[in-house]
Chains A and B, each alone.
Chain A
Amino acid sequence: MLSQEDRTLLTVENLDVHYGDLQALHNVSLHIPQGTIVSIIGANGAGKSTLLGAITGLNKPTRGKITFRNEDISGIHTHDVVSKGITMSPEGSRVFEKMSVEENLLMGAYLSRARKKRKELLKRVYGLFPVLKEKSGQSATYLSGGQRQMLAIGRALMVDPEVILCDEVSLGLAPVIVKDIYHKIVEINREGMTFILVEQDVKRSLKYSDYSYVMVKGRIVMEGPSSQLPEGEVKDAFFGISKYA
């Protein structure tokens, strides 16, 4: 059995991020082992999206280091981070409205290593999300919220990455659809994909992930194997109650 260090894919060390004078992240450190689902739980404004933004190069860290496969990727351009094997299903899906579902997916395979395998990758995405195949010729702008989220994840899969970051996939979706999406995430994870899931839903985050971090006001206040974190205490931490405030 490999030790944690051997399997580490992505590390974040002592990360600070500022928006002007406002400090959004304080000394954040994370450890993402290969092949796991890690969840980051926190309320609005806790800094979760900022953290994902720092990893994907959308924000620049003011202090600290981000390492992927032993390579320092702190502060590099987003498209370079993606070419190294990390991508994100962003908050709100952000599908390409004027393109069809299939064009959106093919856009995911823009970089050469994915472009070569695009037919195979497309087949896999359609296998996971049959509704996308049904609507492949339709403009993405006509999709429902749940379908857009699936398209965003499908597009991320088309990048053929090693890590997919998911920013609030459940936002605004009906529970039954969210459950379906999470089951698909677990299925993709079983095939070897590493996931970092950012969520506000405590119960679901703990249920579907291997390891969890809880964030409050830009700091990690709690972490541990998801199965061992008591839901009640996580919820307290989430709301900034007592010792975690």
Chain B
Amino acid sequence: MEVLLQLVINGILLGGLYAMIGLGMSLIFGIMGLINLAHGDLMIISTYMSMVLALHFSGNVFIALLITVLVMMVVGFFCQSVLINRVLDKGAEPPLLITFGLSIILQNVLLLIFGADAKSIPTKLAAQNAITTPWFSISAIYLINFVISILVILSLHFIIMKTYFGRAIRATSGDVVASELVGVNTKRVYAVTMALAMVTASIAGLLIGMTFTYTPTTGTQYLIFAFGVVVIGGMGSLVGTLLGGIILGLAQMLGSYFFGMAYQLFFGYVVLLVILTFRPEGLFARTK
């Protein structure tokens, strides 16, 4: 029984991290209608970048994160302005091809530089417990992941709902022509949205690096998680993304409990398929 409780807690905490991973994809698809196939790889690039910077700054992950976030924001802004904006109005396929191509390039660049061996960002937090009770314990890194994820989601929610630029983002996702006609520079909105997605991806990347091991191709696995989160939670809803992540996390943990560790990922995807069958727009989607 305690094992089950522990798994449920872990599932929820992990779900927060999964929600962070899906957040960038949810933003980009919800606002630009673009599926970024390079999302997972951009996240893992930040993981590697954080790793290198953390080593350089004697294990200081805060500086590493700060620099990584800034660099990734510029990368995101650049990708959007130079690569993606050109093909957004040319149908659904060109953006998919471009992001797919980007994904391949990024994975292979990482492979060339770092090789295929699994790496991790060393931290004492992974081995520590933040809370220990007779019935369950909460790993420090899992708790940190969850808290940071909630903070990021709440901040994003605040930006989008309460600021002028956030309103411009919402308008652009509703009707590009009408937004332009009130003076919104919609291409710039897209670029900033991409930059915001990059911020969430870099934070997620660092957290992943501290929690799990990774290789240049790990990005693809997380891309699928991101898809899962977004599909389960529904598009265009930040709360939905959080709940989608938690459901995916719980599904994985419960799957491993009832069917064995080997079935952890599998069970997560079974739940995804079930939801896709009965409610394809996602559990918490805003009706379009």
Residues on A close to B: CB < 8 A? 56-58, 77-79, 82-83, 87-88, 90, 94-99, 103, 106-111, 115, 155-156, 158-159
Contact = CB atoms under 8 A, between A and B. Distances in A.
Interface in B154-200: 164, 167-168, 170-171, 174-175, 177-186
A56 B181 contact: yes
B183 A83 contact: yes
A108 B174 contact: no
A31 B177 CA distance: 25
Nearest to B286: A98
A137 B184 CA distance: 23
Nearest to A53: B177
Contacts of B178: 90, 94-96
Interface residues of B, number: 18
Given A79-B185, A83-B183, A110-B164, A90 B171 contact: no
Interface of B: 164, 167-168, 170-171, 174-175, 177-186, 286
Given A98-B286, A107-B167, A87 B174 contact: no
A129 to B, nearest CB: 17
A150 to B, nearest CB: 15
A79 B184 contact: yes
A110 B168 contact: yes
A108 B170 CA distance: 13
Contacts of B171: 96, 99, 107, 110
B164 A88 contact: no
B53 to A, nearest CB: 38
A98 B181 contact: no
B182 A87 contact: yes
B170 A111 contact: no
A57 B178 CA distance: 13
Contacts of A115: 164
Given A96-B174, A110-B171, 14 more contacts: A56-B181, A58-B180, A77-B180, A78-B181, A87-B183, A90-B177, A90-B181, A94-B181, A95-B178, A99-B170, A103-B167, A107-B179, A110-B167, A110-B183
Given A97-B174, A98-B174, A79 B180 contact: yes
Contact of B183 (A58, A82, A103): A82
Given A96-B175, A99-B170, A155 B286 contact: no
Contacts of A95: 178
Contacts of A58: 177, 180
A103 B182 CA distance: 13
Rank and list the top 10 A-B pairs by shortest CB-CB distance, nearest first.
A78-B180, A111-B183, A94-B178, A82-B183, A96-B174, A79-B185, A110-B182, A79-B183, A108-B182, A110-B183
Chain A CB within 10 A, most for which of B168, B174, B178: B178
A88 B170 CA distance: 20
A94 B175 contact: yes
A149 B183 CA distance: 19
A159 B182 contact: yes
A97 B286 CA distance: 12
Nearest to A156: B181
A77 B182 contact: no
30 contacts: A57-B180, A58-B177, A58-B180, A78-B177, A78-B180, A79-B180, A79-B183, A79-B185, A79-B186, A82-B180, A82-B182, A83-B183, A87-B182, A87-B183, A90-B178, A94-B175, A94-B177, A94-B181, A96-B171, A97-B174, A99-B171, A103-B167, A107-B171, A109-B182, A110-B164, A110-B168, A111-B183, A156-B181, A158-B182, A159-B183
